[in-house]
Amino acid sequence: LFAHELFCADLCPHPSADTSDMSFEELLELQSQVGTKTYKRLVAGNSSKKEGSRPRVQNACVADKHRPLEMSAKVRVPFLRQVVPISKKVARDPRFDDLSGEYNPEVFDKTYEFLNDIRAKEKELVKKQLKKHHSGQEHEKLQQLLQRMEQQEMAQQERRRQQELRLALKQEQRARAQQGHRPYFLKKSEQRQLVLAEKFKELKRSKRLESFLSRKRRRNAGKDRRHLPLSKE
């Protein structure tokens, strides 16, 4: 064993010798002489020395937050991906948003009171166009438009009448409270009865009560007819 180590020491290069300077034939000859295990140990020792002696180079590529995004090749890139961050637009409904404040019908009607003049002008314009078209599809469209305008006008008048009635009730309760009486707040059913009574008075003054009652009877008769059992012949 001692003789074999002496033989290897004579054949092997000096530990400080660089095997990278040797040719391929010399490396093969060295491997066949010293054996594969000793040869690998020599090559590994030389490579570790090179890495230890090599000066450490400072990384020149400094991380930058504005650099392009690097995607891994092992992960599949999605078809739709966000390249540039975009602020999402949030839709705001003024009917249910606290920023718009509370809905006050009286303030709303006073603020948009100018719309009544615009609606009146549009109604007159539709009537003039209706006189020009006595029949056909255009006549039907104008007739439906005029009917919808009249229904909207009647609904607005009814709403204004209810607001005036509620305002009168508030003033009456305020006057009773100033006199020392205990305030009495009407129920919704009682408020509906007052509204119907006021509507009855208005129809009676405008002489449209009979036509209103006849339409009401026909509507109620139609409802009752639907609930009747069908006669089998």
- Position 48 scores a pLDDT of 54
pLDDT at residue 4 above 50?
Answer: no
pLDDT at residue 9 above 50?
Answer: no
Q: Which letter does DSSP use for residue 100 in this model?
A: G
> Pick the residue with more confidence: 9 or 74?
74
Q: Please state, in angstroms and rounded to a whole number, the distance separating the CA atoms of residues 19 and 49.
A: 12
> Pick the residue with more confidence: 182 or 118?
118
Return the SS3 of 123. Answer: helix
Q: Please state, in angstroms and rounded to a whole number, the distance separating the CA atoms of residues 107 and 103.
A: 8
16, 12, 17: which is closest to 32 by C-alpha? 12
The predicted model scores a pTM of 0.46
Q: Please state, in angstroms and rounded to a whole number, the distance separating the CA atoms of residues 143 and 210.
A: 25
Q: Please state, in angstroms and rounded to a whole number, the distance separating the CA atoms of residues 116 and 63.
A: 65
pLDDT at residue 55 above 90?
Answer: no
| Cβ atoms of 24 and 6 closer than 8 Å | no
How does pLDDT run across 40-53, given as a tens digit for each residue?
Answer: 877 776 655 554 54
- Position 119 scores a pLDDT of 92
CA-CA distances (angstroms) from residue 210 to 14, 89, 133, 196, 217? 128, 56, 32, 15, 10
What integer best gives the mean pLDDT of the chain?
76
pLDDT at residue 25 above 70?
Answer: yes
How does pLDDT run across 69-93, given as a tens digit for each residue?
Answer: 777 778 777 777 777 777 888 888 8
- Position 63 scores a pLDDT of 63
pLDDT at residue 7 above 60?
Answer: no
Q: Please state, in angstroms and rounded to a whole number, the distance separating the CA atoms of residues 187 and 205.
A: 27
pLDDT tier for residue 2 given thresholds of 50, 70 and 90: very low
- Position 123 scores a pLDDT of 92
Q: Please state, in angstroms and rounded to a whole number, the distance separating the CA atoms of residues 110 and 126.
A: 26
